[in-house]
């Protein structure tokens, strides 16, 4: 593994390898065991989309691994003023040991990896969110003990989160069901990927069908960053239907867990009641961003 650009690039064995290391690093942190595996290394963090969890988890992660992180907003970089990404990639490769980028277009991440000579981590694009889903998978195993035999369900917009969840869940041998409105389906490339797993993937417009007997329920906001102009239109389509609520929980397994990548718009994609009933799982998932990303950084940069 030279980069983490998408989850599709990872085999089942590579996914499990990252998750196993994440568990080990979490244990070491909880028990005060030093793990400065990236001592003297520097990670450049390019943010064209702002974030709470991404910035804090990567910055703290690098510190705990003995390295340092540089926050680079688009306002601070010449790419914000028209410098080609390939030039930025070649310059930063001479200063840094790795690059993390959170941006809009997947092509920007791919170009950074293509023209640079250091590892690149995709911390989110409009196409996918691999780091978040690694944390989700880590959390599922913590609460459920294993992946085999589980059914996961995603309700809402077929966005970057849905794209990565489908890949991670299917790759690890779980069943995947998604409920989304027409015109808001996951990326066509992801739906092609799902065809490689016959009998393991289902897509419907009915959340109650998707959630039946689910062990794990996912959702995300109806309008992601950059889609603010679509918010009113999306609310008309999603409101009252594409929500994790008591009706959805009633058809899932009695011990079903809930995951949300945050920030959550309570009473939109998830009710406040369900959110609070599953807050322990949701905030463990948020914490696991730190541990999963540290594992990725160690795999790429150590």
Residue 180 counted as an annotated binding residue:
no
Residue 198 counted as an annotated binding residue:
no
Are the beta carbons of 220 and 159 closer than 8 angstroms? yes
Q: Please count the residues of the chain.
A: 302
Residue 45 counted as an annotated binding residue:
no
Residue 54 counted as an annotated binding residue:
yes
Distance CA 98, CA 119 (A): 5
User: 258 phi and psi, to 5 degrees?
Assistant: -120, 140
Residue 131 counted as an annotated binding residue:
yes
Residue 160 counted as an annotated binding residue:
yes
Residue 224 counted as an annotated binding residue:
yes
Residue 24 counted as an annotated binding residue:
no
CA R_g for the chain: 19
How far is the CA of 103 from the CAs of 38, 57, 118, in angstroms? Answer: 25, 17, 18
Query: Residue 267 CA to chain centroid, in angstroms?
Result: 22
| Structure tokens that stand for 140 in this block | 């599922």
Task: Report the b/e string of 272-287 with b at 16+ CB within 10 A.
Answer: eebbeebeebbebbbb
Catalytic residues: 102, 129, 132, 220, 261, 289
Q: Which residue has the tokens 């390019």?
A: 46
Residue 130 counted as an annotated binding residue:
yes
Q: What is the DSSP string of 85-123?
A: HHHHHHHHTTT-SEEEEE-S-HHHHHHHHHH-SS-EEEE
Residue 132 counted as an annotated binding residue:
yes
Residue 137 counted as an annotated binding residue:
no
Residue 262 counted as an annotated binding residue:
yes
Residue ranges for the binding site for carbamoyl phosphate?
Answer: 51-54, 78, 102, 129-132, 261-262, 289
Residue ranges for the binding site?
Answer: 51-54, 78, 102, 129-132, 160, 220, 224-225, 261-262, 289
Residue ranges for the binding site for L-ornithine?
Answer: 160, 220, 224-225
């Amino acid at each position: 593994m030279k980069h983490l650009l998408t989850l599709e690039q990872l085999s089942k064995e590579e996914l499990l390898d990252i998750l196993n290391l994440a568990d080990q690093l979490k244990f070491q942190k909880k028990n005060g065991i030093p793990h400065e595996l990236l001592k003297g290394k520097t990670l450049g963090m390019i943010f064209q989309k702002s974030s709470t969890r991404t910035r804090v988890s990567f910055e703290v992660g690098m510190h705990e691994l003995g390295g340092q992180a540089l926050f680079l907003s688009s306002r601070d970089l010449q790419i914000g003023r028209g410098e080609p990404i390939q030039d930025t990639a070649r310059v930063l490769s001479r200063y840094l040991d790795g690059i993390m980028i959170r941006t809009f277009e997947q092509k920007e991440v791919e170009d950074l990896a293509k023209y640079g000579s250091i590892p690149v981590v995709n911390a989110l694009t409009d196409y996918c969110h691999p780091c978040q889903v690694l944390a989700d998978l880590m959390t599922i195993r913590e609460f459920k003990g294993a992946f085999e035999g589980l059914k996961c369900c995603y309700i809402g917009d077929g966005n970057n989160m849905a794209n990565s969840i489908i890949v991670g869940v299917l790759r690890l041998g779980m069943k995947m069901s998604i409920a989304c409105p027409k015109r808001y389906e996951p990326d066509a490339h992801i739906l092609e990927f799902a065809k490689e797993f016959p009998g393991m993937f289902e897509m419907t417009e009915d959340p109650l069908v998707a959630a039946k007997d689910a062990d794990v329920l996912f959702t995300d906001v109806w309008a992601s960053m950059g889609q603010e102009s679509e918010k009113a239109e999306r609310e008309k389509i999603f409101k009252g239907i594409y929500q994790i609520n008591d009706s959805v929980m009633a058809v899932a397994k009695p011990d079903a867990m809930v995951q949300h990548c945050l920030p959550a718009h309570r009473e939109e994609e998830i009710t406040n009641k369900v959110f609070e009933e599953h807050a322990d799982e949701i905030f463990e998932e948020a914490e696991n961003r730190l541990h999963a990303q540290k594992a990725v950084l160690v795999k790429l940069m150590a």
